[in-house]
Chain A
Amino acid sequence: MSADRVEVGRPSVEAAAASPPLIEVKNAARWFDVSSPWLERVLSRKPRTVLRAVDGVSFSIRKGETLALVGESGCGKSTIARLLVGLYPLTHGSITFDGQPLSNMQGRKGLALRKRLQMIFQDPYASLNPRWRVGRIIAEPMLAHTQLSAAEREQRVSDLLTQVGLDPSDESRYPHQFSGGQRQRISIARALAVNPEFLVCDEPTSALDVSVQAQVLNIMKDLQRRLGLTYLFISHNLAVVHHVADRVGVMYLGRIVEIANRDALFTTPQHPYTRLLLAAIPDLTGQGKSRTPVAGEVPNPLNPPLGCTFHPRCPHAREQCKTEAPVMQNFKGIQVACHGVVQGWEML
């Protein structure tokens, strides 16, 4: 198995638009039952509490593109990442990968599917088994999915380490002997071991220093170009998202409020939450413009507001927003869930 595929350029927008999406998520939801134990509930007459971590999310990702999901804590983006790789089962809705439902992930057939999608985690210190050597960590997917001989595996590990900018001799060392950025590269090497097509990246650089982040982001972009990878990139950092994404989805309390092409989202954001998020980014250019802080905080996800969940913090909220939850609609080339945008209210 060669380390590189034949150089695959990123598909042009037109070509990509013509092919069916690689990933299709329809109305996916993941609810967690966080109720108190039965006895306590009976005694205090409390109802069951359900945390709707992801509550009806739909999007699609085309081959070769990078879709970023941004949002603040509790918005559900990490849960979506885990739904997409089969770590959590769906409560309802559907996720298909190349036409096949992801619920097929269990068992023998699931193994073939798992080979094609992999994940990179946020914490470089916890995502590698501290007791295993790096070589073994990277080779593990090969053991599960391929019949390569030990020599072939060793060769591939060397190739992968070189690809991510490390030295092949590093395979005999332990994770704690590497820095955070280097460990993320080992994670990337592991994720690429069996040539997946799709990578879910859950805040891969959030725990890294800014110059190390630059290294890792550059590598990720290089690899995407060379291997024709498709990325789902989760982050809370809008600047990073601006650097890596083709399309961006903004999440709030388990729902997507806006999806648009990168440039459209950053230059003409439509949803009030998107606007406020962008206004809250610290301005490095030092124009002297003070940030307009967003009022309030993210409400308790166990008890979200009725209607549009953003209405308590929205400067443009009207009566309709308090009672009717908006649905995602196409609007001038983007998708957005906001009464005001769709109905053309004055929201400057």
Chain B
Amino acid sequence: MTSKSRSRTLQVIALHVVLTPLAIIWLFPIWMMLVFSTMDDYGIFSPKIVLWPSTNFIANFKNLQADTDFVRAMFISVVVASVYTFLSVLLTSMAGWALARYRFIGRSVVIAIILGTITLPFAVVVIPQFIMVAREFKLSNTWVALIVPPLFNSLGVLFMRQAFSMMPGELFDAARVEGVKERQIFLRIALPLARPTMAALAIILFLASWNNYLWPLLINSKPGMMTAPVALGSLIGLTKVSWGGIMAGAMLLTAPILVVFVFLQRHFIAGISAGAVK
């Protein structure tokens, strides 16, 4: 073994020595969520620590479904996250395209405002937004209230703007010379080329919507209109908390996202690091 390959092996070993415990620490709560989702409440609170799944998952799920219509809540979450992701990617792409490729008066002001809104924490916006949506527009407990208010995502606009800015301008000039309409340039050339960035943005937006708790909790509190995280939260009562059911629900809420992430992580990481290097 040459000294170069020996030092490389040592590096790899050192890296694993550091990263493996970190990975275990990170994975442990998720594993315990899986374990708890398969145990009854007595098992969960027994002093003996059990690290292996039991057989109570179906029963826990039945309790969950009985306490709150979790299947419907999941359905609402899926529909809201999907529609929100589709519309938001479309909207942010259109805004990003305009800001990247057209010169108009006030463009830099618009960009500055969009950048500025990123710095505002949601806690600052949530009350005025609630008053506007619930009181002014009277939209509480509707699909629109869940999907529309967070639709215009500042980060998404800047994300897409960056993607379109990096495309060579000659591509679009060539289409203009050929008489292709601006709408078609956007739909037929720009969007297909921005597909990797759109995929990454879609994952980010889907996750954000899927995990969103505060806004759906505030605006859609009617049992039939709850999203899955809100439905789970509603199980934490003053007198009784069904941890087995909550864990089963949390498991069902986490699993699809994990699967999607594993399959799309290449896009996700590519999108996150887009623009980091030339």
Say if A and B assemble together: no
Taking Cβ atoms with an 8 Å cutoff, the residues of B that contact A are: none
